[in-house]
Structure 1
Amino acid sequence: MDTIMESFAGLTSFTIYFAVSIALLFVFKLAYTLVTPQDEWKLVKEERNTAAALGFGGAIVGFCIALAGAVSNSASLVDFAIWGFVALIAQVLAFLILRFTFMPKIAERIDNQEVSAGIMLASMSIGVGLLNAACMTY
């Protein structure tokens, strides 16, 4: 019985960190859609745009990887929240860098359902998320 009680001892912390993670994910979705010229939700849900789904899905996965790094390495809930926002900023910057340097027509290409553009956006987002998470292991 003691083993079971010990297992549940961390449930409160889990619940709090998970709730903050979901809130940060929601904020990321809002921030990301603000910096992109198109409405990803509309493209995915209404127009069934595969390129948009790949790009936006990759951005979410990349952010969650970075967020997982922040959770794993934070000293407190406040520390986690701060690094969660750092992860958010890094992911948004990754999109902006891709859009304004390497692939200036990425938004148009995603609107045109070019899957290769969605794959590149997803790859960049996931790669930045991995680097972001690794850099949080100070």
Structure 2
Amino acid sequence: MSTATLSARLRELGMTLPSTNPPRGAYVPAMRAGDLLFIAGQAPRLDGVLKFSGRVGRDISIEAGREAAQICALNVLGHLAHACDDQLDRVVAAVRLAGVVNCAEDFTAHSQVLDGASELIAAVLGDRGRHARIATGASSLPSGMAVEVEAIFQLKS
């Protein structure tokens, strides 16, 4: 994969790399520390438009939550592509994903929702996309978004 790009891999999967969304607060969307790239929580936004809002399992289905998580992962990949000049060979590994599901207190399918993000990262990066993960729930998220996903990647120097 030395000449492969993240954009090309997504096209093979029938997707396109989105333009990155600007931060909606006093933070940066990505920060590199040594060989680790920390990507701030990403919403299910495309071109600045929130695609999924509400509580998963109450206002929207688990399947819609999975789609929301996948859009979050697409946005994560957008920041990753920017940080590594779109070159897949610069990515050593997806280290960790953390996802928060906007849900009711009795919701228990967090992992099913976050699988939408995890499966996309693995499909794009192959074995380098296998990662540790936490899936949690919250009674609300910024802008009413249904899911938020952040990530840590290891990059070559």
Normalised by the length of structure 1, the TM-score is: 0.34
Higher strand proportion, which one? 2
